[in-house]
Amino acid sequence: MCRDYIAIFYKKRNNISVVRAASFKGEKNGDNIIRGKTGRTLKLLVVNVCKIGGTSLEIKRFLKDICEAPGVSGYEEYVAKVVRAAFCSHVDEVRQDRMGNVVFLKKGSSSAERRPRILLAAHMDEIGLMVTKIEEGGFLRFSAVGGIDPRTIVGQEVILYGREKLPGVIGVKPPHLVPAEELGKGHKMEDLHIDIALTEERVRKLVSVGDLALIRRELIQLAGNTVAAKAMDDRAGVAVLLSCLQELERLRHEADVYAVATVQEEVGVRGAAMATYGIVPDLGIAVDVTHGEMPGVLEHEACKLGKGPGITVGPNIHTKISEEIIRVAKEYRLPYQLEAFPGPTGTDARAIQVTRGGIPTGLLSIPLRYMHTSVELLDMDDLKLSGRLLAYFIASVDLEFVEGLSCC
């Protein structure tokens, strides 16, 4: 039976085994020989054959679960559970530090005394709303945790996490009552309130200052491979880590991989600094989202959807790492886009690079439209491609590569 294959096999280059991959249509016989349509044959050394896109359903289900899970910066406990449940069968060790970062270790295959240590970071916290005051009538004033444009939350349904999960809305005046000159002005955070339709007395029993609220949003399937949800920034990055770990099960990698679901990125890239301090990796790759093209944004300021991840270059990124990621992408013919950023990026990479004595850092980004709204939108292919590229890069990292990073 003719099927699509990605064959993973070893090839020697300079006497070192290097992973290669080829995808082609063919038929496999009992001796693990695949004969392609042109008569070309390949003997599989490692019987790890997968159908293209075979794990995509699992990734999409995980993405739905994780995007819908609550986990505002500083309060990531629930989403951490979702992440742990999905990741733990793919790794050797799991640990959570006192601030909530979850660290997954997938050991490398090298038997040498010292294995290269690679840190992968994707933040699991999301932006949200925090109750600042209970007003007369039971209406709730709030402020943002992380950067939120107040104009994107008006008229939304919310879930308020008080003593119970309470449904509510962010109410606005009906247009009939709005004076003409106000219609042109954007709403300000201080002018908005959450209405949970309870009396003040009941509200005070169920809600405290400091309670959190999130926009109610389920994952939406749009045309083709496009999905939209809240918190894609950066739960999509966490999904990329999962996808990468799955790919790594089919690859041989020398390095120990520390995949970390970090906390508190949205309030100042805080969790990644702490996690990196504890792990002290030889290099670190952050996986985050970047702006996808949309109206009003110049072409060079955004990436295209469906054309693969963005690979960042610039002062925040170690040149040899971005060069190697590009080389790997070209070798396996994986699409990618180049992003130049002239200073410290607004991602975990910013903190990783200057931890302790300095860590060589890279950044991979998934193109995303409408960042920091509840309808963040991306192409699932970009997500899978990012996971694959990351895995192949990890497989190419050996001690020699790591040692070369400290020389300039």
Partner 1 sequence: MKELLKKLSETYGPSGREAQIARLIREEIKDYVDETYTDNMGNLYAVKKGNGAKIMVAAHMDEIGMIVTHLDDKGFLRFSNVGGLSPHVLLGQRVIFANGSQGTIGMEKLEELNKLTLEKLFIDIGATTKEEASKYVKVGDIATYHREVAVVGNRMIGKAMDNRAGCAVLVKAIQELAITDNEVYAVFTSQEEVGLRGSRVSTYRINPDLGLAVDVTMVGDTPEAPTMSVSLGKGPTVKIKDASVICHPRLKEMLSEIAEKNEIPYQYEVLTAGGTDAGAIHLTKEGIPAGVISIPCRYVHTPGEMVDLEDLEHALKLLKAFLSAPLEMREIFPCHLE
Partner 2 sequence: MLLKRLSEASGASGDEGEVRSLLKEELALHAEEVTTDALGNLYFKKGIGSKPRVMVVAHMDEVGLMVVGYEKSGLLRVAKVGSIDDRVLASKVVAIGKDRVPGVIGAKAVHLQKPDERTKAIKIDNLYIDLGVRSQEEAEKLVKIGDYGTFTVTAREAGDNCLIGKAFDNRAGCAVLAELLKEEFALELNAVFTVQEEVGLRGAGVAAYRLHPDLALVIETTAAADVVGSKESAYVTKLGDGPALTLMDSTYIAPQQIVDLVVETAEKLNIPYQFRRLTTAGTDAGIISQTHAGILSAVISIPCRYIHSPASIINLDDWQNTLRLARGILNAVAEGGLRLEGTA
Among 1, 177, 223, 407, binds partner 2 (CB under 8 A): 407
Dist CA 332 CA 389 (whole Å): 8
Q: Given 265, 266, 324, 339, which residue is catalytic?
A: 265
Neighbours of 29 (CB within 10 A): 9
Which of 66, 7, 1, 64 minimizes the C-alpha distance to 32? 7
Is residue 313 at the binding interface for partner 2, with CB under 8 A as the rule?
A: yes
Which residue ranges make up the site for partner 1 (CB under 8 A)? 73-75, 77, 84, 88, 93-99, 101, 130-134, 141, 143, 145, 190, 208-210, 264, 267, 270-271, 273-275, 277-278
Instruction: Report what 8 binds from partner 2, partner 1, none; CB cut-off 5-8 Å by kind.
Output: none
Instruction: Report what 208 binds from partner 1, partner 2, none; CB cut-off 5-8 Å by kind.
Output: partner 1
List the beta bridge partners of residue 141: 133
Measured torsion, CA atoms of residues 107, 108, 109, 115, in degrees rounded to the nearest 10: -120
Neighbours of 27 (CB within 10 A): 13
Task: Provide the sign of the torsion angle of the four alpha carbons 265, 267, 269, 272, taken in this order.
Answer: negative
Instruction: Report what 95 binds from partner 2, partner 1, none; CB cut-off 5-8 Å by kind.
Output: partner 1
- Within 317-346, the residues that bind partner 2 by CB under 8 A are 318, 338-344
List the beta bridge partners of residue 292: 303
- For residue 78, the one-letter residue type is Y
Is residue 150 at the binding interface for partner 2, with CB under 8 A as the rule?
A: no
The radius of gyration of the chain's CA atoms, rounded to the nearest angstrom, is 23
Write down the H helix ranges in 40-155.
56-68, 77-87
Is residue 299 at the binding interface for partner 2, with CB under 8 A as the rule?
A: yes
To which residue do tokens 């994986």 refer? Answer: 334
- Within 61-100, the residues that bind partner 2 by CB under 8 A are none
- Closest to partner 2 by CB, 211 or 339: 339
Write down the least CB distance from residue 168 to partner 1, Å: 18
Is residue 347 at the binding interface for partner 2, with CB under 8 A as the rule?
A: no
Q: Is 301 a catalytic residue?
A: no
Is residue 353 at the binding interface for partner 2, with CB under 8 A as the rule?
A: yes
* Paired tokens of 383: 């997500």
> Who contacts 92 (Cβ-Cβ below 8 Å, separation ≥6)?
105, 106, 107
- Closest to partner 2 by CB, 154 or 354: 354
Dist CA 11 CA 331 (whole Å): 13
Is residue 214 at the binding interface for partner 2, with CB under 8 A as the rule?
A: no
- Closest to partner 2 by CB, 183 or 408: 408
Catalytic residues, by residue number, are: 265
Binding site for partner 2 (CB under 8 A): 298-301, 313-316, 318, 338-344, 353-354, 356-360, 405-408
